[in-house]
Amino acid sequence: MSASPSALGDVTPQRMAFEQPLPLQSGAQLPAYELMYETYGTLNAERSNAVLVCHALNASHHAAGTHAGNPKSVGWWDNLIGPGKPLDTERFFVLCVNNPGSCFGSTGPMSLDPATGQPWGSRFPVVTVEDWVDAQARLLDRLGIERLAAVIGGSLGGMQALSWALRYPERVAHCAAIATAPSLSAQNIAFNEVARRAIITDPDFHGGDYYAHGVVPKQGLAVARMIGHITYLSDDAMAAKFGRALRNGALGYGFGVDFEIESYLRYQGDKFSGYFDANSYLLITRALDYFDPARATGGDLARGLAAAQARFLLVSFTTDWRFSPQRSREIVQALVTNRHAVTYAEVDAPQGHDAFLMDHPHYHGVVRAWFDRIAQELSK
């Protein structure tokens, strides 16, 4: 009997190698590469019940379940995915792929560049949301999955879901984009840029080739993570969780930890910089900056989304100030203009952007109902 705290139990990551280079939006290409992925549930005989889950900045292919022998290794969306969960693995075959450029096993800056035998480092090509979608599509080809019952993602994962509906309209029956935006605002880009400056100006960054120096730009990456973390939480959630509470009951009259919020942020920054790769952080924030399905249509989002054929679900959270409900409404409006089918839920949740990772009854109820309908359609 499994001691896993996940309803799904232990899961096993898989690896697939691709010899054919991946052409990138930049004009460059990624030569032979590998993708890490996980699957949950069973692909039906018709191969019609596959649901692709797309991960956000900090996450990986490990979306649900646990890894054997490590009960703490619960997947990042385990509350949503599993037997009897809103995305029910007893009905759907769920896949999640670590995107190239990330740092959890798929080819990225830490991998060896076959041309040099050295880590890619600063020479790893800039990848985009579209490139990731193309890589995911090739994986599906290899698995014999022609058409997805659904693609779903939150935040940057939501952008991948939207991109799927645009690049492969005939391969996506349903598309769920949670807590996302049609593109980053100037303020979003600004936060990314400050985070990148913190990393790049860390002397241990060595122009991105720190692996050879036996160091990592920990301090810069920690600052980057602290900045990101502030934008993931709502002002109210921070006030409720930390307020002005003092760590030691009195002011220290120095620059150590006086306030609980300082302690929390330092902890988050240090923890993150211990496992995440700085080059991956640069690449993934850049992919965020670049995503803009309205770029090719002169800023006209409706025209930019015209090619989609999927039925959509959009969910936003009232206190999310990173990707506010207004940004989801822009997508909804553009889809409605195209007479695409779209369901939209604006969920009253206090947690800010992070709400998309939470087990919230209204939010999960909406996702459950949406997948229930898809399952019913499949069984017809």
Kindly tell me which of 244 and 380 has the beta carbon lying closer to its own copies: 244
Applying CB under 8 A, among 140, 177, 198, 342 the residue interacting with its own copies is 198
225 is in an annotated binding site: yes
Q: Would you count residue 187 as binding its own copies (CB under 8 A)?
A: yes
Name the amino acid, one letter, at 220: G
Using CB under 8 A, count the residues that bind its own copies: 54
Cα(270)–Cα(274) distance, integer angstroms = 6
Q: Are strands 50-54 and 93-97 parallel, antiparallel or unpaired?
A: parallel
* Residue 104 CB, nearest approach to its own copies (Å): 21
Q: Would you count residue 286 as binding its own copies (CB under 8 A)?
A: yes
Q: Would you count residue 292 as binding its own copies (CB under 8 A)?
A: yes
Measured from the Cβ of residue 172, the count of other Cβ atoms closer than 10 Å reads 23
Q: Would you count residue 194 as binding its own copies (CB under 8 A)?
A: yes
- Helix 278-290 vs helix 218-232: crossing angle, to nearest 10: 40
Told to judge if 289 belongs to the known catalytic residues of this protein, a careful annotator would answer no
Told to judge if 353 belongs to the known catalytic residues of this protein, a careful annotator would answer yes
3-state secondary structure of 301: helix
Kindly tell me which of 289 and 346 has the beta carbon lying closer to its own copies: 289
3-state secondary structure of 149: coil
E strand residue ranges, the chain: 14-18, 22-23, 29-30, 33-40, 50-54, 81-82, 87-88, 93-97, 150-154, 174-178, 311-317, 342-347
Cα(105)–Cα(277) distance, integer angstroms = 12
Site mask for its own copies (CB under 8 A), range 246-285, x = bound: -----x-xxx--xx-xx--xx--x------------x---
Token pair for residue 157?
């994962």
Q: Would you count residue 239 as binding its own copies (CB under 8 A)?
A: yes
Q: DSSP letters along 247-283, please?
A: SSSS--SSSS--BHHHHHHHHHHHHHHTTS-HHHHHH
Q: Would you count residue 62 as binding its own copies (CB under 8 A)?
A: no
Q: Which of 60, 102, 155, 273 is catalytic?
A: 155
Cα(149)–Cα(172) distance, integer angstroms = 6
Applying CB under 8 A, among 9, 10, 14, 28 the residue interacting with its own copies is 28
Q: Would you count residue 31 as binding its own copies (CB under 8 A)?
A: no
Kindly tell me which of 323 and 363 has the beta carbon lying closer to its own copies: 323
Q: Which of 55, 61, 62, 353 is catalytic?
A: 353
Alpha-carbon distances, residue 281 vs 141, 218, 272, 275, 276 (angstroms) = 28, 12, 11, 11, 8
Cα(258)–Cα(225) distance, integer angstroms = 20
Kindly tell me which of 218 and 360 has the beta carbon lying closer to its own copies: 218
Kindly tell me which of 143 and 246 has the beta carbon lying closer to its own copies: 246
Told to judge if 6 belongs to the known catalytic residues of this protein, a careful annotator would answer no
Cα(229)–Cα(238) distance, integer angstroms = 11
Kindly tell me which of 54 and 287 has the beta carbon lying closer to its own copies: 287
Alpha-carbon distances, residue 293 vs 181, 298, 344 (angstroms) = 11, 10, 19
Applying CB under 8 A, among 5, 23, 84, 203 the residue interacting with its own copies is 203
Site mask for its own copies (CB under 8 A), range 107-146, x = bound: ------------------xx--------------------
Q: Which of 60, 320, 328, 340 is catalytic?
A: 320
354 is in an annotated binding site: yes
What are the catalytic residues? 155, 320, 353
Q: Give me the residues that bind its own copies (CB under 8 A), please.
A: 25-28, 125-126, 183-187, 189-191, 193-194, 196-198, 200-203, 219-220, 222-223, 226-227, 230, 233, 235, 238-239, 241-244, 251, 253-255, 258-259, 261-262, 265-266, 269, 282, 286, 289-290, 292
- Pick out the residues of the known binding site: 225, 354
